Amino acid sequence: MKKFLWSLFEMIETVAIAVVAVLLVRSFVTQPFLVSGASMEPTFNNGNYLLIDELTYNFRPPERGEVIVFRYPNDTSTYFIKRVIGLPGETVIITQGTVSVKNQHGVEVLREPYVMGQATSPNMQRTLGKGEYFVMGDNRNFSFDSRSWGPVPSKDIVGMVRFRLWPLNEAMAFSAPRYSP
């Protein structure tokens, strides 16, 4: 009987350690995210299951081109997924669907091979303040983003997309595109 109780104790201890480890990772390192909608097509489709890295932005700020998950600024109980286009202190300029960014290095027209179709958004210009990010969906004609409601404050950013886990035939890791000519 003593051997049985000792084995049971070891099994309970192993399960408890595993549960605590999963809870810690889920709370502070990574969390799952289910894509809902078409705003990020063709990069992510409705129903894709992603893993979000919540740790990296504790050590560095978001970079242009990274796909992030954040709390919608007008309702922080809602989560969105979009691509970072403009960084703090920059001016985002949209002219006839072409996106440019003006910063201390000059004006750079972004080459965006991930964008679906030709964007028909109205011309606009937006200068970002400290801790503000301009985000847009890859499916520009069907994306509710910073063009409509303004920049995302850094405090609302949850993390960046690192992996697509579902569907299995499309499972892969993600990184930010390079914009330099």
113 Cβ contact list (under 8 Å, min separation 6) = 177
| Radius of gyration over every alpha carbon of the chain, rounded to an integer in angstroms | 20
Give me the half-sphere count of Cα atoms (radius 13 Å) on the Cβ side of residue 98.
8
Active site residues: 39, 82
Can you name the residues that pair with 172 across neighbouring β-strands?
164
Place of tokens 């404050």: 153
One DSSP character per residue, 85-110 reads EE-TT-EEEEETTEEEEEETTEEEEP
